[in-house]
Amino acid sequence: MKKIILASSSPRRRELIQLLDYPFEIHTREVEEIINPQLSPEENVKYLARLKAEAVAKEYSAEWIIGADTMVCLQSHILGKPKNEEEARKMLQLLSGQRHRVITGVALIKKNEVSTFCETTYVQMKILSKQEIDHYVATGEPLDKAGAYGIQGKGAIFIESIEGDYYNVVGLPIHQIYKRLLEN
């Protein structure tokens, strides 16, 4: 049976990795998550996912080490996790009434071989009032999520539609990971 190390402290990714039904551990290392403006959003998330996985791989071994990074993109705006409530409000104002992309990059390390991929899901958000934004931000939910909303939580009421993998928006494209684990 495959043993997995998930290089993420995200409680949502932890829940999703459990769906694989493989033994797993969680180990993380601090990495500087800097977005490189010279790279596409897809290249950025793959790069950051790889950084996270490689940082853990230096100290731990398992059959598989998985790193991931998610960002929300609206036209030329790249939205990571908000630094504070004011930034969360600004992100939600930008996303209000807009169709945007949620991109998750994944790095898989097996015996020092690294492969990366990314998954994109399109999300349509309803038009949000100032009161809705203020109330939602006051819950604290937006503060640890790319794009300042959680589709699996209170933020679900703001989502009109999605096109693609729901679990990708939560933070881990679990089907694509499962498929790649089976192939190897």
- Tell which residue, 44, 40, 51, has the closest CA to residue 8: 51
Is 3.90.950.10 the CATH classification of the domain at 4-183? yes
- pLDDT digit string, tens, across residues 64-119: 999 999 999 999 889 989 999 999 999 999 999 999 999 999 999 998 899 999 99
**Residue 139: band (very low, low, confident or very high) from pLDDT cuts 50, 70, 90:** very high
Residue 90: the pLDDT is 97
> What's the mean pLDDT in 9-28?
92
DSSP state of 141: G
Model pTM above 0.85:
yes
**Residue 15: band (very low, low, confident or very high) from pLDDT cuts 50, 70, 90:** very high
Q: Which residue has the higher pLDDT, 74 or 184?
A: 74
Residue corresponding to tokens 């990366």: 116
Task: Quote the strand ranges of 43-143, DSSP E.
Answer: 64-74, 77-79, 99-110, 113-125
Query: In the annotation, is 69 catalytic?
Result: yes
Residue 111: the pLDDT is 86
- Tell which residue, 65, 152, 159, has the closest CA to residue 107: 65
> What's the mean pLDDT in 118-141?
98
Domain ranges of the chain: 4-183
> What's the mean pLDDT in 140-144?
94
Asked if 38 contacts 32 with a C-beta cutoff of 8 angstroms, the reply is: no
The secondary element (H helix, E strand) that includes residue 16 is helix 11-18
Set 21, 69, 144, 165: catalytic member: 69
The secondary element (H helix, E strand) that includes residue 4 is strand 4-6
- pLDDT digit string, tens, across residues 31-41: 888 889 899 99
> What's the mean pLDDT in 129-156?
96
